Amino acid sequence: MRILVTAGPTREPLDAVRFLGNASSGRMGFACAGAARRAGHRVTLVSGPVDLPVPRGVRIVRVTTAREMRRAVLEAFPRADAVIMAAAVADYRPARRFPGKIRKGRRELVLRLVPTPDILRELGARKGRRILVGFALEARNARREALRKAREKNLDLVILNAPAAIGAGRVDAVALRGGRAVRRFRRAPKETLAAWIVAAVEELAAGKAAPEVSSGRKHR
């Protein structure tokens, strides 16, 4: 299979030296890319700015902003059989990029923010027979919001986790498909979750059901 993976944060520039971003380390996306390559798939990894070694055999496209990530993803998407969207794309960007460096003054600085492109929704509308996996990082009404995201963005599988997953090496997560939980993870290494996601993508592509609910740490 040809698998497209996204990883890391995006940075939305405010001026020449400042940006809006988040604390995503990129570890989840890089783990998915590595797991897919080890399983024998051709992998393209579109990554925001992170400091991680690229898994052997993975083609990487480096981007900075949400709009750059959208362009890179849409360029690779027609050749992909499956997409794992693990990137933590910024939801908003400054409406204006100030030239040079904003000087500190005594007055308040008010910023106007505008939405960034919803890449996952766009892929869901275009996916055809492709497998599409998304992540839902939620703090309130988590399961309801994750299922809404899966429905509205036409996802085959959504991985629900919490803000504590950002930058962490281990994660609590629930994989949801068809309105129900198909796997639960407790303090699992992100590499374990990544290997399970790749196996689930393979089964979905083969027309099989995702693995059943389990609370153990082992993956298939």
Residue boundaries of the structural domains of the chain = 2-101+109-205
Indicate whether 212 pLDDT > 70. Answer: no
Tell me, what's the pLDDT at 207? 85
Note the pLDDT tens digit of each residue in 54-88. Answer: 999 999 999 999 999 999 999 999 999 999 999 99
Is 22 one of the annotated active-site residues of the chain?
yes
pTM of the model: 0.90
Residues 6 or more apart whose Cβ sits within 8 Å of residue 30 = 7, 45, 47, 50, 52, 54, 55
For 206, which DSSP code?
A: T
Q: How many CA atoms lie less than 13 Å away from 139 in the CB half-sphere?
A: 3
CB contact at 8 A, 8 and 87: yes
For 89, which DSSP code?
A: -
What is the spatial distance between Cα 80 and Cα 59, in angstroms, rounded to a whole number?
A: 13
Reference 119, options 178, 182, 67, 51; nearest CA is 67
Indicate whether 214 pLDDT > 50. Answer: no
In the three-class reduction of DSSP (H, G, I as helix; E, B as strand; rest coil), residue 209 is classed as coil
Catalytic position from the list 22, 141, 154, 161 = 22
**What dotted CATH number matches 2-101+109-205?**
3.40.50.10300
Tell me, what's the pLDDT at 106? 79
Indicate whether 118 pLDDT > 50. Answer: yes
